[in-house]
Amino acid sequence: MTAWLTLLACVATLLSAALLYAASPHCVWHAWRRRRGVLGGGFALAVLALVGWIAALGPGAGLCAMLVGWMLALVMQPYFALLADRHAAEATAREDD
């Protein structure tokens, strides 16, 4: 049971980070930019992930695991965009300057 909760929490953490990044004005994924409703969905998945992590690991370790996973996913989003489509990501970054 704990393994499934941990997997669910991990997936929810990564998806919430992706949705919150898509709602950001700094998003370099051109297809994801400024989609309506992603901010609320990102926060809802973040709460779900936090509940999953706390249920799997307890309050202290669950909060730390949630924040670490979330921050790593948010930091890696621009680099994933550059790896996936460097030309489109650079063009999007130039549009914002």
Distance CA 13, CA 46 (A): 6
Distance CA 63, CA 46 (A): 11
Q: What letter would DSSP give residue 24?
A: S
| Tens digits of residue pLDDT in 33-75 | 666 778 888 899 999 999 999 999 999 999 999 999 999 998 9
Taking each helix axis from N to C terminus, what angle separates 2-23 and 38-57, rounded to the nearest 10 degrees? 150
Local confidence band at 95 (pLDDT 50, 70, 90 cut-offs): low
| Tens digits of residue pLDDT in 22-41 | 888 777 776 666 667 788 88
Q: Which amino acid is at 66?
A: M
pTM score > 0.85 for this model?
no
**What is the rounded radius of gyration, in angstroms, for the C-alpha atoms of the chain?**
15
Q: Which residues of 14-26 are buried (b: 16+ CB within 10 A; e: fewer)?
A: bbbbbbbbbbbee
